[in-house]
Structure 1
Amino acid sequence: MPLPKILLFGKVGQVGWELRRTLAPMSQLVAVDYPDVDFTAPDSIRRAIAEAAPNIVINAAAYTAVDKCESEFALAKQINADAPGVMAEEAQRRGALLVHYSTDYVFDGTKTSPYVEADAPNPLSAYGRSKLAGDEAIRRTGCNHLIFRLCWVYGARGANFMLTMQRLAREREKLRVVADQFGCPTWSRMIAETTAHALRSVRSAADARALSGAYHLAASGHTSWHGFASAIIDLMPLDARKCRAVEAITSAEYPTPTKRPAYSVLSCAKLEQAFGLRLPDWHESLRQVVES
């Protein structure tokens, strides 16, 4: 079987960078990002797909400034909803598979047990609404697709909670971190490796269409932002940090422009069953990324 030709949008982001590392050995990979492609211009997206002529389109590009989405919803919608819709139209027209990354923020956080794919979305934020609109735009085209909903993404590159906590721990003696929001810290490399495994499964499946749909992709286990911060700092050598205490606070004590779900833990049972894998516990992933 010849190597698939993959077009990756969003090559410089946390997930995109890891996808480039993971997919390069198993595909003919073309990776692009802004300004090569203008994600607010449908013609620019269509041109990139026409030039690459891919079997698989992967969209790791997104407007992820969650708080800024509240004041820049039109821009967020163009990038998070309209652009994926264009990609899906082109994938459908060419018979290509579209892989797209969504978010736990499509849920309102009122559950007390892990969210499953069949749970009704009810986003609290402009960011969540824009991402949900992207999911719906993809489904409307009828293209063969994998939508992976992610949760609390972090890694050794880019801007993320882990790197922020490490920086602050080097600067401050005490940190105050929200303890009443719960989710699944998920390593960007694990997302990329799981994506690669899913792609191999789809390519070898007798009926690839049977695997089309939305899946939750997050580390096993869950914690609060306070628990995550504490674990990050505990893994730092004592002589490499100034911080000696992490204080638990409420969301009300740390107001933000965006209302975030209090509980966005994702069940990944559907993904694990469909693709025959087990996703690691978030503690183990965190240790690996710190060691690496």
Structure 2
Amino acid sequence: MAVLPDGGPILVTGGNGQLATSLARFGGARIHRVGRPDFDFDRPETIETTFRAVKPAAVINAAAWTAVDLAETEQDGAARANTDGPRRLAELCAEAGIPLIHVSTDYVFDGDKRAPYVETDPTCPTGVYGRTKAEGEQAVLAANPQTVVLRTAWVYSASGKNFVRTMLGAGAKNPTLKVVGDQIGSPTSSDDLAEAILSILSTIETGGWKPDYAGLYHATGSGETSWHGLAVAALERAAEHGQAMPEVLAIRTEDWPTPARRPADSRLDCGKLHRVFGVRLPDWRASVSRTVDELMGRSAR
């Protein structure tokens, strides 16, 4: 577990979201979480007001518009949350001379490469969410020279709304589930991602900022699977706690139509993160098991 050196507050946006919650869990007293209504990218004036009040030593932007399908019809709101707001936050970090760690997504890619994406691959989003996130990446990198952008994917945790919790709930009520089996990626525990971010920040604060740190990185759980594979892994672990194991049928993407297209293969190569910061996230299977154990432990109480 990364241990942050003593210092000023670390401003974490995203309020009670999965990642912000995990950062508070592992980051100690320096973590200062903010969210709606006090901090809201839809109300630009709250960005600077919050920044001036907290006087952070570093910022972790875990806030975003994540409603992928709704973004198709609410394009302005998605742009404010994913591009305009982060740009202003990065500008404030630049003025203060502090680092920004900005969280992005695998949806900046179309998923057609059929091999893990590296940071130098050109972005090619297929929907508004991915486009606004890609534009946000470039905006924050341009605004603050001390910016690290972390692309992640398939985030889940023991709190909040996410795929693993949805599957456990559905599996407890239904004898048969249908889950998309032809989209592959790397499930990422928000706890693992939080610890990776804190490790990066510890490296930056301990040794000072280096220009080579700036730029894009990929940060997902190690290994790969499909949504069907993730569902089966979570439900099999729940079965070890006594929950009935449903039949989980693999279906095709076209059998589960959505307004926004999902990447068919959004695997991300995370080698750069390890080379530069010495960080590698754990295998997704172990982290899913740990998360299910936590959730089932709660339900048993």
TM-score by length of structure 2 reads 0.93
Answer whether contact 2:156 2:187 (CA < 8 A) is retained.
Answer: yes
Per the alignment, residue 13 of structure 2 pairs with 9
Q: Does 1:250 align with 2:284?
A: no
Answer whether contact 2:101 2:149 (CA < 8 A) is retained.
Answer: yes
Where do residues 159-238 of structure 1 align in structure 2 (5 Å cutoff)?
A: 159-205=161-207, 207-237=209-239
SS of equivalent to 1:237: helix
**RMSD between superposed Cα atoms in Å:** 1.4
Per the alignment, residue 20 of structure 1 pairs with 24
Per the alignment, residue 147 of structure 1 pairs with 149
Per the alignment, residue 52 of structure 2 pairs with 50
- Provide the rounded CA distance (Å) in 2 between the counterparts of 1:47 and 1:89: 14
Offset, 1:258? 0.8
- TM-aligned CA distance change 1:93 to 1:239, over 3 Å: closer
Per the alignment, residue 100 of structure 1 pairs with 102
Where do residues 25-104 of structure 1 align in structure 2 (5 Å cutoff)?
A: 25=29, 27=30, 29-104=31-106
TM-score by length of structure 1 reads 0.95
- Provide the rounded CA distance (Å) in 2 between the counterparts of 1:50 and 1:238: 49
Offset, 1:47? 1.0
Offset, 1:242? 4.4
Q: Which runs of 5+ in 1 are unaligned?
A: none
Structure 2 counterpart of 1:131, one-letter code = K
Answer whether contact 2:239 2:245 (CA < 8 A) is retained.
Answer: no
Residue deviations 1:202-257 (CA, integer Å, cap 9, x gap): 11235433211111000111001111111111111268444421101100111011
Answer whether contact 2:183 2:226 (CA < 8 A) is retained.
Answer: yes
- Provide the rounded CA distance (Å) in 2 between the counterparts of 1:274 and 1:210: 8
SS of equivalent to 2:51: helix
Answer whether contact 1:235 1:287 (CA < 8 A) is retained.
Answer: yes
- Provide the rounded CA distance (Å) in 2 between the counterparts of 1:14 and 1:219: 15
Offset, 1:130? 1.1
Q: Indicate the percent of aligned positions where both proteins have the same amino acid.
A: 39
- Provide the rounded CA distance (Å) in 2 between the counterparts of 1:14 and 1:151: 13
Answer whether contact 1:144 1:209 (CA < 8 A) is retained.
Answer: yes
- Provide the rounded CA distance (Å) in 2 between the counterparts of 1:121 and 1:244: 38
Answer whether contact 2:82 2:136 (CA < 8 A) is retained.
Answer: yes
Q: Which runs of 5+ in 2 are unaligned?
A: 295-301
Per the alignment, residue 289 of structure 2 pairs with 287
- Provide the rounded CA distance (Å) in 1 between the counterparts of 2:289 and 2:225: 15
- Provide the rounded CA distance (Å) in 2 between the counterparts of 1:206 and 1:159: 36
- TM-aligned CA distance change 1:248 to 1:164, over 3 Å: same
Offset, 1:271? 0.2
- TM-aligned CA distance change 1:253 to 1:273, over 3 Å: same
- Provide the rounded CA distance (Å) in 1 between the counterparts of 2:135 and 2:70: 18
Answer whether contact 1:153 1:188 (CA < 8 A) is retained.
Answer: yes
Return structure 1 stretches of 4+ with deviation > 4 angstroms.
none
Structure 2 counterpart of 1:147, one-letter code = V
Structure 2 counterpart of 1:23, one-letter code = G
SS of equivalent to 2:238: coil
Per the alignment, residue 130 of structure 1 pairs with 132
